[in-house]
Amino acid sequence: MTISDVINPATEELLSTVEQTEEAAVDDAVERAVAAQRKWARRTPADRATALRAFATVVDAHIEELAALEVANSGHPIGNARWEAGHVRDVLHYYSATPERLSGKQIPVAGGWNVTFNEPLGVVGVITPWNFPMTIASWGFAPALAAGNAVLIKPAEWTPLTTIRLGELAIEAGLPADVFCVLPGKGSVVGERFVSHPEVRKIVFTGSTDVGKRVMSGAAAHVKRVTLELGGKSANIIFDDCDLERAAATAPYGVFDNAGQDCCARSRILVQRNVYDRFMELLEPAVKGVVVGDPSAIETEMGPLVSKAHWNSVSEFVPDHAPIAFQGSVPAGSGYWFPPTVLTPQRDDRTVTEEIFGPVVTVLPFDDEADAIALANDTVYGLSGSIWTDNLSRALRVSRAVEAGNLSVNSHSSVRYNTPFGGFKQSGLGRELGPDAALSFTETKNVFIAVQPEQEGAH
């Protein structure tokens, strides 16, 4: 049996230990999930809806506990962690409406009746990253359960605690055992076995683009369905006709939220050249004003990085000679702290092209609308982005031209449970959330029922 340590990133203290699931235990869980899924799918839609609502109610009663766990395990500021736990409840409520709405279609055809059914896939494997452990888990498990599937979920090694707790809360809420099962462990063991096991019919993977490609190629051997939510290098485009004060005041929160460990982080700020100097003057106090510190304090806006290994990886992007324009501050003492950092590199620098996944943002000037669009799209990624302009036509033109799945105009909003979320290009495949997500956990079955023509003279 392997036990792994879970560390509090704000204090570097041992928080807990977690038993790592071995391959044989994954196989057992899959076998039990196959049997449990058949019973779950046979329940009436109203019954499944009631079970999901009960799960949401139990999560709601544990918001403070889940939030405190995330503060301790991931270093998320308490305000953010409360929002995340509430989001899990809301996602469950939203998809509790799905079982009674997966109605298929009746299609008019000659010679009979034609109907379609949205059949569940079977067992779904959800593999999550460490940056938003419980919210991202819920984006997979809620619609998958709603569509009649069983779910096995593997949290990231560094941040398993809230997902493990959600597994316990599901049982407390009355969800059948083995329909929703949390299997903490290594990606190379549990994650790989999800991909290679023939009875796991779909993988929902959120994580790095490199591992996502590996998951996709492994899934191909079984023609296994995949949803992939991968990396990002999103642009925050500031045009000269926008409310520059507001754009500068909000830019830090578009990238430094969750210490920049956010796939949607607007980590490239692109500024029209004629307002560049003024924007930088406004940005400096905004960056220095970000409150970095004890994640359990309500006024804290940014916590530490998740681990020492990740701190090392982010630090490599900011060597001694880095073109630092200005930086925020961090607390002294233990904890994996990294200050909000603004760089002004060349367009081809690796800080501009690679995902840093920390509180480091690059600022580049652009000449005109065409240059801004070309620069925004000059990346293998395409997840998110923001466009700041008070010109409605420009907002619409640029929104259509930027190759990314989630854009916001004059704001940095990306995620709502009721709108679709996902990436273009190497940022992913498929969409989570929104009204259609449950369909990606179903197969469409078409059934034609012949109707004999009425015999002549029968009446």
Active site residues per annotation: 229
Q: CA dist 140 to 3, 58, 267, 284, 417, Å?
A: 26, 19, 26, 39, 12
Query: How far is residue 73's CA from residue 62's CA, in Å, rounded to a whole number?
Result: 16
Question: Taking a C-beta distance cutoff of 8 angstroms, is the pair 382, 423 a contact?
Answer: yes
Query: How far is residue 253's CA from residue 276's CA, in Å, rounded to a whole number?
Result: 19
214 in contact with ligand NAD (CB under 6 A)? yes
Closest CA to 451 of 145, 83, 108: 108
Query: How far is residue 196's CA from residue 347's CA, in Å, rounded to a whole number?
Result: 41
Closest CA to 344 of 368, 318, 367: 318
Query: How far is residue 265's CA from residue 233's CA, in Å, rounded to a whole number?
Result: 7
Q: Which stretch binds ligand NAD (CB under 6 A): 105-113, 123-131, 245-253, 335-343?
A: 123-131
Comparing CB distances to ligand NAD, the nearer of 194 and 276 is 194
- For ligand NAD, the binding residue among 160, 184, 232, 340 (CB under 6 A) is 232
* Count of CB atoms situated within 10 Å of the CB of 220: 11
Residue type, 298: I
48 in contact with ligand NAD (CB under 6 A)? no
Shortest Å distance, C-beta 434 to ligand NAD = 13
206 in contact with ligand NAD (CB under 6 A)? yes
- For ligand NAD, the binding residue among 11, 16, 208, 413 (CB under 6 A) is 208
Q: Which stretch binds ligand NAD (CB under 6 A): 48-56, 149-157, 317-325, 329-337?
A: 149-157
Region at 189 (left for phi over 0; alpha for psi -120 to 50; beta for the rest): alpha
Query: How far is residue 260's CA from residue 236's CA, in Å, rounded to a whole number?
Result: 14
Apex CA 88: angle with CA 85 and CA 89, to 5°? 95
- For ligand NAD, the binding residue among 92, 226, 355, 376 (CB under 6 A) is 355
Query: How far is residue 124's CA from residue 225's CA, in Å, rounded to a whole number?
Result: 9
191 in contact with ligand NAD (CB under 6 A)? yes
Question: Taking a C-beta distance cutoff of 8 angstroms, is the pair 270, 302 a contact?
Answer: no
Comparing CB distances to ligand NAD, the nearer of 163 and 272 is 163
Q: Which stretch binds ligand NAD (CB under 6 A): 17-25, 108-116, 152-160, 270-278?
A: 152-160
> Which of the residues 363 through 422 are near ligand NAD (CB under 6 A)?
383
358 in contact with ligand NAD (CB under 6 A)? no
Comparing CB distances to ligand NAD, the nearer of 36 and 383 is 383
127 in contact with ligand NAD (CB under 6 A)? yes
263 in contact with ligand NAD (CB under 6 A)? yes
Shortest Å distance, C-beta 211 to ligand NAD = 3
Shortest Å distance, C-beta 383 to ligand NAD = 5
- For ligand NAD, the binding residue among 137, 173, 211, 242 (CB under 6 A) is 211
How many residues at the interface with ligand NAD, by CB under 6 A?
32
Comparing CB distances to ligand NAD, the nearer of 290 and 314 is 314
- For ligand NAD, the binding residue among 62, 76, 93, 154 (CB under 6 A) is 154
Closest CA to 94 of 151, 34, 41, 135: 135
Q: Largest Cα–Cα distance in the chain?
A: 95
- For ligand NAD, the binding residue among 129, 160, 252, 254 (CB under 6 A) is 129
Residue type, 118: N
Q: Which stretch binds ligand NAD (CB under 6 A): 79-87, 130-138, 172-180, 444-452?
A: 130-138
- For ligand NAD, the binding residue among 229, 257, 294, 301 (CB under 6 A) is 229
Comparing CB distances to ligand NAD, the nearer of 293 and 303 is 303
- Residue that the structure tokens 């395990």 belong to: 73
Question: Taking a C-beta distance cutoff of 8 angstroms, is the pair 401, 389 a contact?
Answer: no
29 in contact with ligand NAD (CB under 6 A)? no
Residue type, 113: W
Q: Which stretch binds ligand NAD (CB under 6 A): 111-119, 227-235, 291-299, 345-353?
A: 227-235
Query: How far is residue 258's CA from residue 80's CA, in Å, rounded to a whole number?
Result: 8
125 in contact with ligand NAD (CB under 6 A)? no
- For ligand NAD, the binding residue among 276, 423, 426, 433 (CB under 6 A) is 423
3-state secondary structure of 387: strand
Q: What torsion, rounded to 10 degrees, do the Cα atoms 202, 260, 381, 245 define? A: 130
- Per CB under 6 A, residues contacting ligand NAD are 127-132, 136, 154, 156-157, 187-188, 191-192, 195, 206-208, 211, 214-215, 229-232, 263, 355, 357, 383, 423, 427-428
